[in-house]
């Protein structure tokens, strides 16, 4: 049934958050697999030219639709992507930077970006009348009871996606690390290394399941898993925890 629905739209993939550490690898892997790929870049990106050239060189097309429901609906109705990857996320540093520049920090917080922009993509797909596979990059540890705004944004989006009627793949990785991040994230690297060490010890003491779930991964391994899961009709409408994302290729 899912294959029929996909055949009615297109074979294209659209990647939102394409400039991110995960997004750039997802674009590369999709192109490598021969999937016609559109990298979405926000029109106000300070690195628009650089990223446009980089993605075109990879063999992807670039789209600059504004983050606005009517505009995004129009783009989805025109392109009819079979796969939409939502790989967006803000950071506390970005929120602070916005506040320092005198703008409202709420426009860049977890509710506005990690939830808000992903929800806009879901609503645009529904309004455009398409039923793509929607891949949402969530995070390990996401649950209904968390009090943290980071996890609350993810839980809320996951629930809305499940109820949306779109095909979905929800991925919950642990730390995503690697050498080619644009900005240094010392806290994240230190956190990932400490956690990996503790989990290795936990593994030695028989807690292998915990080691598998929370150990860090690289953007390349994660991207390969996300693409494989999106393209496999048997993986639709499922949530994938960290260990499944690491071992799925
Ligand atoms: N990093 C980790 O260890 C980790 C672990 C588990 C889950 N995750 C989750 O996985 C997702 C992706 O992580 P990542 O490390 O690949 O992200 P990243 O490198 O920080 O990239 C974030 C992406 O979101 C876009 N973005 C941020 N704010 C935006 C805004 N206001 N408007 C439009 N686009 C915006 C960025 O675009 P610009 O380049 O244009 O700013 C970029 O493409 C996030 O939701 C993150 O929380 C991350």
Residue 179: pLDDT over 80: no
> What per-residue confidence (pLDDT) applies to 85?
98
Nearest to 63 by CA among 30, 95, 41, 92: 41
Distance, CA of 53 to CA of 39 (rounded, Å): 11
Q: How far is the CA of 34 from the centre of ligand 1 (A)?
A: 25
Give which of 143, 156, 165 is closest to 237, Cα–Cα: 165
Check residue 247 and give its pLDDT.
Answer: 63
Q: Which of the pair, 193 or 98, is modelled with greater confidence?
A: 98
Q: How many domains does the chain have?
A: 1
Question: What integer pLDDT is reported at residue 7 of this predicted model?
Answer: 47
> How does the average pLDDT of the chain come out, rounded?
90
Q: What is the band of 76 on the pLDDT scale with cuts at 50, 70, 90?
A: very high
For 52, residues 6+ apart whose C-beta sits below 8 A from its C-beta are 41, 62
116 CB near ligand 1 (under 6 Å): no
Distance 211 CA to ligand 1 centre (A): 25
**Which single residue is written with the structure tokens 């949402």?**
136
Residue 240 pLDDT > 70, yes or no? yes
Asked if residue 139 lies in contact with residue 172, where contact means CB atoms within 8 angstroms, the answer is yes
Helix axes 48-58 and 23-32, enclosed angle (nearest 10): 30
**Nearest in space to 56 (alpha carbons), one of 35, 31, 86, 20:** 31
In sequence order, the 6+-apart residues with CB closer than 8 A to the CB of 19 are 39, 41, 45, 47, 51
Q: Is pLDDT at 10 greater than 80 in this prediction? A: no
Region 186-213: mean pLDDT is: 67
Phi, psi of 46 (to 5 degrees): -75, -15
Question: Is any atom of ligand 1 closer than 6 Å to the C-beta of 223?
Answer: no
CATH number at residue 74: 3.40.50.720
Residue 80 — left, alpha, or beta (φ > 0 → left; ψ -120 to 50 → alpha)?
A: left
Q: What is the mean pLDDT of residues 72-98?
A: 95
Asked whether the predicted pLDDT for residue 171 surpasses 70, the reply is yes
Does 167 have pLDDT greater than 90?
yes
Ligand 1: distance of its center to the CA of 224 in Å?
17
Q: What is the pLDDT of residue 214?
A: 75
Least reliable range by pLDDT among 66-70, 121-125, 177-181, 242-246:
177-181
Mean pLDDT, rounded, for 195-212: 65
SS3 170: strand
Contact 142, 214 (CB under 8 A): no
Q: How many CB atoms lie within 10 A of CB 204?
A: 10
Instruction: Compute the distance between CA of residue 235 and CA of residue 9 in angstroms, rounded to an integer.
Output: 19
- Full residue range of the structural domain in which residue 112 is found: 2-246
**Which ligand 1 atom minimizes the distance to the CA of 17?**
43
What is the C-alpha end-to-end distance of the chain, expressed in Å?
Answer: 25
- pTM for the model stands at 0.90
CB of 188 sitting under 6 A from ligand 1: yes
Q: Which residues pair with 45 in a beta bridge?
A: none
- The mean pLDDT of 128-155, rounded to a whole number, is 96
Q: What percent of the chain has pLDDT over 90?
A: 75
Q: According to the model, what pLDDT value does residue 194 have?
A: 77
Q: What is the pLDDT of residue 210?
A: 61
| Ligand 1 nearest-atom number relative to CA 188 | 3
Q: What is the mean pLDDT of residues 226-244?
A: 96
The DSSP H or E segment spanning 140 is none
pLDDT grade for 204, boundaries at 50, 70 and 90: low
């Amino acid at each position: 049934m899912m294959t029929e629905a996909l055949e009615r739209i297109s074979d294209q993939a659209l990647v939102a958050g394409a400039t991110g550490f995960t997004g750039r690898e997802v674009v590369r892997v999709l192109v490598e697999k021969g999937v016609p790929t559109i990298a979405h870049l926000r029109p106000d990106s300070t690195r628009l030219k650089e990223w446009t050239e980089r993605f075109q060189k990879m063999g992807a097309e670039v789209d600059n639709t504004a983050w606005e429901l009517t505009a995004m609906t129009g783009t989805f109705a025109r392109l009819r992507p079979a796969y939409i990857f939502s790989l967006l996320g803000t950071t506390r540093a970005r929120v602070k930077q916005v506040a320092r520049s005198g703008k409202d920090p709420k426009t860049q917080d977890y509710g506005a970006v990690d939830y808000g922009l992903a929800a806009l993509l879901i609503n645009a797909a529904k309004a455009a009348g398409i039923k793509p596979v929607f891949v949402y990059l969530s995070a390990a540890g996401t649950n209904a009871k968390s009090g943290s705004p980071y996890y609350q944004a993810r839980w809320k989006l996951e629930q809305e996606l499940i109820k949306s009627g779109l095909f979905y793949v929800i991925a919950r990785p642990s730390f995503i690390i690697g050498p080619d991040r644009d900005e240094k994230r010392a806290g994240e690297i230190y956190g990932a290394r400490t956690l990996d060490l503790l989990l290795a010890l936990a593994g030695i003491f028989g807690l292998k399941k915990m080691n598998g779930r929370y150990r860090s991964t690289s953007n390349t391994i994660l991207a390969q898993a996300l693409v494989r899961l999106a393209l496999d009709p048997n993986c639709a409408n499922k949530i994938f925890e960290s260990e499944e994302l690491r071992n799925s290729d």
